[in-house]
């Protein structure tokens, strides 16, 4: 079956057939193509465009094909170019000439646009589910570590002490924004394009709202030319995926750093690490490294899609066949990365003693001493300078600032009193009670809010 060659006097050259065929990858759309075709057939019968008997035979045939596909018994034929013609050809084998009536009032242009939207809607749901799973793993670890202190870093230099729970919840917030982006993407994906025809609409008395309801769409497309050539929803998914992968790459980078001998903040479960082919002592965080590497792959798919679309005139162009492989790869890459990182986080062991030791060195209380002076009336900029000199003194004397005596503090400012010794890592953490701060009280509230958000979402 090659309806597209009815105007042409010669058969397609083998090289052209190989070059233009998409069945090798668009077969992934098969369940969605079946779903859309069943809804279309029901609507054609409902509107009297085909008979009720024809509609019933078509639907039964499509359901049989759907079962063949699900059970792996369907034979895909490269010479039939794409998934649409493969299914229609098989339908003709099953029910005869009535199969040809299925294509009434539709084009492969609006058909593939429909399939792609159904696929992306499903992909969004699966991705959001995996985001929730990773968020749940982060929350579970955070609950175990509401008292674990470690250094917070800027410029990869120790800055101030923070709770590990606070640190982990930072990634929860990133992923929460990712969830929001995918939810927002769904709003613009949830538009039913079938009925747009090749580009100009249809002369048949279609009930597009019926098809939309059958397929679970909230609205129908408003412009036929836009509907068949729009791939914004693909770009939006890939853009949201690129941002999500960036967040995952940041998390992965910290897993790589923290699992090193230099940090020893975390040990990944053996099941989520690899060994070395030559160095038997090695335990490598390969999944984190791959997550970091695959981020560039997802970025590339987004740039490719933007480049694909930027020069296309209205309406449909065959260039749009190139939208699928990148989309499929992005969905697979993102979802697999979310899944494996969720499992790695859930089974990871955080080294509380090592983190605590790191938090008690490196002059992490310097800012607290500056705040101490500021609260006693010293302008903060002046206090900042005083503490800078104090740190230099401590380094010269091979001490941490927290190890200095009241007398040593008073060499730099008479505002220091004996109570300066009450400042420690725990008071530093718990003094930051503002909303969004690292104090135990603030983190406890943030944890509760995170759990409520997950419970409400699920």
pLDDT tens for residues 95-144?
999 999 999 999 999 999 999 999 999 999 999 999 999 999 999 999 99
pLDDT tens sequence across 18-47: 898 999 999 999 999 999 999 999 999 999
Could you tell me what percentage of the chain is helix, strand and coil, using 3-state DSSP and rounding each to the nearest 5? 70, 5, 25
- Spatial neighbors of 138 by CB under 8 A, at least 6 apart, are 168, 169, 171, 172, 175, 345
**pTM, full prediction:** 0.95
- The ranges assigned to domains in the chain are 3-104, 109-204+218-357, 361-457
Is the separation of the CB atoms in 12 and 3 below 8 Å?
no
Q: In this predicted structure, what is the pLDDT of residue 100? A: 96
* Fold (topology level) of 361-457: Ribonucleotide Reductase Protein R1; domain 1 (1.10.40)
Q: Do 361-457 and 3-104 fall under one CATH topology?
A: no
Q: In this predicted structure, what is the pLDDT of residue 11? A: 87
Between 282 and 333, the more confident residue is 333
H or E element in which residue 164 lies: helix 164-189
Is the separation of the CB atoms in 402 and 424 below 8 Å?
yes
Q: In this predicted structure, what is the pLDDT of residue 412? A: 96
pLDDT tens sequence across 47-61: 999 999 999 999 999
Is the separation of the CB atoms in 22 and 86 below 8 Å?
no
Number of alpha carbons in the 13 Å side-chain half-sphere of residue 351: 20
Mean pLDDT computed over 73-79: 94
Mean pLDDT computed over 433-458: 95
Catalytic residues: 155, 276
DSSP state of 13: P
Percentage with pLDDT > 70 across the chain: 98
Q: Tell me: domain 3-104, CATH 1.20.200.10, correct?
A: no
Number of H helices, E strands in the chain: 18, 6
- Spatial neighbors of 53 by CB under 8 A, at least 6 apart, are none
- Say which CATH architecture domain 109-204+218-357 belongs to: Up-down Bundle (1.20)
Q: In this predicted structure, what is the pLDDT of residue 448? A: 97
Number of alpha carbons in the 13 Å side-chain half-sphere of residue 364: 26
pLDDT tens sequence across 179-219: 999 999 999 999 999 999 999 999 999 999 999 999 999 99
Q: In this predicted structure, what is the pLDDT of residue 1? A: 45
User: Is residue 379's pLDDT more than 70?
Assistant: yes
């Amino acid at each position: 079956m090659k309806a597209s060659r009815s105007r042409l006097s010669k058969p397609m050259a083998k090289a052209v057939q190989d070059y233009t065929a998409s069945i090798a990858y668009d077969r992934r759309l098969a369940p969605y193509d079946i779903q859309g075709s069943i809804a279309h057939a029901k609507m054609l019968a409902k509107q009297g465009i085909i008979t009720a008997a024809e509609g019933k035979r078509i639907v039964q045939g499509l359901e049989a094909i759907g079962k063949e596909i699900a059970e792996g018994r369907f034979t895909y034929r490269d010479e039939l170019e794409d998934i649409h013609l493969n299914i229609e050809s098989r339908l003709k084998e099953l029910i005869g000439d009535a199969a040809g009536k299925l294509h009434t009032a539709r084009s492969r242009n609006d058909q593939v646009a429909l399939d792609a939207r159904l696929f992306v809607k499903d992909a969004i749901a699966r991705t959001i589910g995996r985001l929730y799973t990773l968020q749940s793993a982060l929350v579970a670890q955070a609950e175990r570590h509401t008292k674990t202190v470690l250094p917070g870093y800027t410029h990869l230099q120790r800055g101030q002490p923070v709770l590990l729970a606070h640190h982990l919840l930072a990634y929860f917030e990133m992923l929460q924004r990712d969830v929001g982006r995918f939810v927002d993407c769904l709003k613009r994906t949830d538009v039913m394009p079938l009925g747009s025809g090749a580009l100009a609409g249809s002369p048949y008395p279609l009930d597009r709202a019926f098809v939309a309801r059958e397929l679970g769409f909230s609205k129908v497309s408003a412009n036929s030319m836009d509907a068949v050539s729009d791939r914004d929803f693909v770009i939006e998914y890939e853009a949201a995926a690129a941002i999500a992968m960036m967040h995952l790459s940041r998390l992965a980078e910290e897993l790589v750093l923290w699992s090193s001998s230099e940090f020893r903040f975390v040990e990944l479960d053996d099941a989520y690490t690899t060994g070395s082919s030559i160095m038997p002592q090695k335990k490598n965080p390969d999944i984190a490294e791959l997550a970091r590497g695959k981020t560039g792959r997802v970025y590339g798919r987004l740039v490719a899609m933007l480049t694909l679309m930027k020069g296309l005139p209205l309406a449909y162009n065959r260039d749009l066949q190139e939208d699928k492989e990148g989309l499929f790869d992005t969905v697979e890459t993102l979802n697999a990365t979310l899944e494996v990182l969720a499992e790695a986080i859930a089974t990871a062991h955080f080294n509380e003693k090592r983190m605590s030791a790191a938090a008690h060195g490196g002059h992490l209380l310097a800012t607290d001493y500056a705040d101490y002076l500021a609260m006693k009336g010293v302008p903060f900029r002046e206090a900042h300078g005083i503490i800078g000199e104090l740190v230099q003194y401590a380094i010269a004397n091979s001490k941490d600032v927290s190890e200095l005596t009241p007398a040593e503090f008073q060499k730099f400012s008479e505002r220091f009193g004996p109570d300066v010794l009450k400042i420690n890592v725990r008071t530093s953490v718990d003094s930051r009670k503002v909303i969004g701060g690292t104090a135990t009280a603030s983190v406890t509230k943030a944890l509760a809010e995170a759990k409520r958000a997950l419970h409400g979402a699920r």
